[in-house]
Amino acid sequence: MGAVLAPLNFRRGVWDWSRPYIMGVVNVTPDSFSDGGRFHDPTAAIEHGVALAAAGADCLDVGGEATNPRAQPIDAAEELRRVLPVLEGLAARVAVPLSIDTTKAAVARAALGAGAEIVNDVSGGLFDPDLPAVAADAGAAYVCGHLRGRSLPEVFAAEVAPAWTEVADELQARLDALPAGLRARTLVDPGLGFGKGASGEGNAALLRHAGDLARRLGRPVLVGPSRKRFLAELVGSRETAALDAGTVGACLAAAASGAHVLRVHDAGLLRAALIVYFAIRGP
C-alpha cells in the first residue's frame, strides 16, 4: 500500500490502510456527467447509497453540485436542500462513514452536523478558503483535491496535463497551508479529469504514480477515475458498461501502484475485482 500511515478513525469504523477502500458515489444532482437525474430524488438517492454500502462501499460520498464542464453552478442553499435529507437518511441506515462532496464551507458545516465525517473538496481549498477550517473544527477527515483555477470554468479552460511531480508539489503547498492538526486527517486526490489534458495520458500517469504521490506527501491517496472522459477515450466508448469496465482497470492499476481509496459509481463491480486481484497477487 505504499507509504506507512497512521490509521484514520471514524465513528463508524477504522481505515488501517491494509487494503484499498472503496468510496461509493451518491450524486444528488440533475446534471452529473454519468448518472445525472437518476438519484436526484432524496428517496432514490438514499436507496442507492444503501445499495452501494451493501455491495461493498466502505464509505458514501454524497454530492449535490455537479463538477463537470457543462454543469451549472448552484448556491449553498440549493446544495443543502439536495444533500441534507440524503445524509440524514443514510446516517440512519448504513454503518459506513459518510462524506460530503462540496467546495463550500457552509455546505460542509451543515453536512458534518447531519452525520458526514469526511469533507471531499475537489478544489483543495481554492474555491472557498474557509472550507479546510470547517473540517478542522469538526475533527473531520479532509480530501484535498488538486486542480488549477478559482472556479470550474477556469479549471476546464486550460487542458494542460501537468507532470505528477507538479501535482505533488502543488498538493504539498496546500497541505502546508492547512489548519494545525488537519493534515493528519487529510487524504490527497490528484484530481483526475480536472484540467489534466485532453488525452488520457496525463490522467493515466497520475494513476501510475499514485504510490509515488503517497510516499512523497506522506498522506493516503484517493483517486476518482470512475466513468471519466479520459476512460471513454481509452476504451473508445461512452457506454456505461464500457466505462465501468475501464474504471475497474484504472482502479486495479492504481491499487497496484499504492492508491488507498478508490472512488467509483459501481462499488460491487470493483469489490469483486479487488477480491480476485488480491487472491491471485497474494499478500
> How many other β-carbons are positioned within 10 Å of the β-carbon of residue 214?
25
Position 200 in a domain: yes
Position 9 in a domain: no
Q: What is the pLDDT of residues 196-244, one digit of tens each?
A: 876 778 899 999 999 999 999 999 999 999 999 899 999 999 999 999 9
What element of type H or E holds 136?
helix 131-138
Q: What is the pLDDT of residues 87-128, one digit of tens each?
A: 999 999 999 999 999 999 999 999 999 999 999 999 999 999
Position 141 in a domain: yes
Position 81 in a domain: yes
Rounded CA-CA distance 104/65 in Å is 10
Position 1 in a domain: no
Q: Which residues are catalytic?
A: 228, 263
DSSP string, 148-188: SSSSHHHHHH------HHHHHHHHHHHHHTSPTTTGGGEEE
Query: What is the CA angle 141-112-135, rounded to 5?
Result: 40
Can you list the pairs that 14-17 forms with residues at least 24 positions away whose Cβ atoms lie under 8 Å? 15/58, 15/220, 15/260, 17/220, 17/260
Q: What is the pLDDT of residues 142-185, one digit of tens each?
A: 999 999 988 887 888 777 888 999 999 999 999 999 998 999 99
By residue range, what is the domain housing residue 101?
Answer: 19-281
Q: What is the pTM of this model?
A: 0.94
Position 117 in a domain: yes
Position 145 in a domain: yes
Position 12 in a domain: no
